[in-house]
A and B are shown apart, each in its own frame.
Chain A
Amino acid sequence: SQQGEEDPQALSIQEGENATMNCSYKTSINNLQWYRQNSGRGLVHLILIRSNEREKHSGRLRVTLDTSKKSSSLLITASRAADTASYFCATVPMDSSYKLIFGSGTRLLVRP
């Protein structure tokens, strides 16, 4: 079963607006990663945040991590139609390396 839950399940915004997705997980982690998937294809790695980090930026992406609440958020600023995709958080459990446990995903639609 999945460790993480994401909300919202679906998000529809206008181009230029910001999109925020949230992820919660259950166990202690080594790191947390965000991936994007277009239309049932392979996943693309977006950003990784380690358990001892609180915030990380990469281009238009900003990720936060709160290990006390076991939650993370992904912010996409100034969204574009090309950002339309499903976004997944994935955790690497502290007690079980070499695997990713994925959240349920957020479907993002950016309207032109």
Chain B
Amino acid sequence: KAGVTQTPRYLIKTRGQQVTLSCSPISGHRSVSWYQQTPGQGLQFLFEYFSETQRNKGNFPGRFSGRQFSNSRSEMNVSTLELGDSALYLCASSRGDSGNTYEQYFGPGTRLTVT
């Protein structure tokens, strides 16, 4: 089985721009979660989607949004980028149908640099 893929792997944007990151889960997985990793704040949960519905959301401003498509692929969007948005954005997938969160399979991440 192919693993979780994320595109692009690296991205450089300017303050004020917006960005869209993409995640393709493992085949058969219907849950996709997004995390932000920074040296200062560590790993923080952004949101989780299952069958195109957001089931949980972290404490991030409304500039951070996401969606999931019928094929379980997911995108996250960050609008009006700030320098503090520079981070490694990780996507994780799982079956998601067990009523809770168990083993997550992570992608390699997208490294976003905001200048």
Which A residues form the contact surface with B (CB < 8 A)? Answer: 1-2, 30-31, 33, 35, 40-45, 48, 88, 90, 92, 96-105
Contacts and interface: CB of A to CB of B under 8 A. Distances in A.
A15 B14 CA distance: 44
A14 to B, nearest CB: 28
29 contacts: A30-B101, A31-B100, A33-B102, A33-B104, A35-B106, A40-B88, A40-B109, A40-B111, A41-B108, A42-B4, A42-B90, A42-B106, A42-B107, A42-B108, A45-B103, A45-B104, A90-B43, A92-B100, A97-B99, A97-B100, A98-B31, A98-B48, A98-B101, A99-B58, A99-B101, A100-B33, A100-B104, A102-B42, A105-B43
A30 B100 contact: yes
Chain B interface SS verdict (over half): strand
Given A43-B90, A88-B43, A99-B45, A31 B106 contact: no
A2 B44 contact: yes
A103 B33 CA distance: 17
Contacts of A31: 100-102
Contacts, number: 75
B47 to A, nearest CB: 8
Given A2-B42, A42-B90, A48-B103, A97 B109 contact: no
Interface string B72-115: 00000000000000001010100010011111111111010000
Interface string B29-56: 0010101010001111100101000011
B106 A44 contact: yes
B107 A100 contact: no
Interface of B: 4, 31, 33, 35, 37, 41-45, 48, 50, 55-56, 58, 88, 90, 92, 96, 99-109, 111
B4 A105 contact: no
A92 B100 CA distance: 8
A33 B96 CA distance: 16
